[in-house]
Amino acid sequence: MGRGGRGLLATFLSLAFLVGGCSTGGTLGGSSAPAAAAPSSGSWGISKFFGGSSATSPQTVAGAQPDVTCPPVEIRQGASTLTITPPGDRSTMSVKYQASFVRQARECTLADSNMVMKIGVQGRVIVGPAGGPGQVDIPLRIAVVQETPGGTKPIVTKFIRIPLLVENNPDGTLFTHIEEAMSFPLPTPTAALDDYIVYVGFDPFTAAAEDAEKAKPKAKSKAKPKAEAKPTAGAN
């Protein structure tokens, strides 16, 4: 490997380490490094939302009894980093892009007997040795589950693809998604809500399955054979 290749690899590894440190390796909200400011998004007020909400600290639910709390948001272990490489090549020098999470936030309200969660996710994509500026789809999974000693029960889940134009920025390119209304029935008793947790993670497997389904050739409909003309009466 030449001097230029070694320099590019060292730069990428340094950025990957810094981005990984910002995501805290699994859960977010404790000792993460300060994140770059998110771009504003009109009436959504993304910067204000992330600045005023916490992913894991106790939070009461608007319009509910004081003992009803908002489930925490955590990064799913094993799904905190997304590495994009050519098919069949996982070497470091073949990495085109690497994505990780920076911060999350949530707010909860009660609508009749349903919990409605507003969940925000922000992350960063850095360009790898084999990458460059271009369009990337970020496959994101948000899932509300109930975790008890007896096991994990899925409550509601959603898969999102976030289109992102990656720029040639040494600090990486930020992506932001706010899911406005993840809704599910309030459990009975409401104390069971303490076992609920929201997991956020990258889901490249669902994205690959969707792409494979789209790439399948559509079956051509077979043309029906033409009916033979019946001879008319009196014909020789």
Whether 232 maps to a domain, the answer reads: no
Whether 228 maps to a domain, the answer reads: no
Whether 224 maps to a domain, the answer reads: no
Whether 227 maps to a domain, the answer reads: no
Mean pLDDT by 10 residues, the chain (236 residues): 47 43 31 33 58 77 80 94 91 94 93 92 95 95 95 96 93 94 92 94 95 85 65 58
CA–centroid distance for 24 within its chain: 17
Give the contacts of 88 (CB within 8 A, at least 6 positions apart).
none
Instruction: Please report the beta strands in the chain, taking only residues with DSSP state E, as ranges in sequence order.
Output: 73-75, 81-84, 97-111, 114-127, 134-148, 151-166, 173-185, 196-202
Q: What is the pLDDT of residues 198-220, one digit of tens each?
A: 999 999 999 999 999 998 887 77
Whether 34 maps to a domain, the answer reads: yes
Domain extent at residue 18:
3-215
Whether 95 maps to a domain, the answer reads: yes
The pLDDT, as a whole number, for residue 32 is: 31
Whether 220 maps to a domain, the answer reads: no
Q: What is the pLDDT of residues 107-127, one digit of tens each?
A: 999 988 899 999 999 999 999
CB 161 within 8 A of CB 41: no
CB 127 within 8 A of CB 83: no
Rounded to an integer, what distance in angstroms lies between the CA atom of residue 27 and that of residue 49? 19
Task: State the total domains in the chain.
Answer: 1
Whether 222 maps to a domain, the answer reads: no
Rounded to an integer, what distance in angstroms lies between the CA atom of residue 161 and that of residue 177? 10
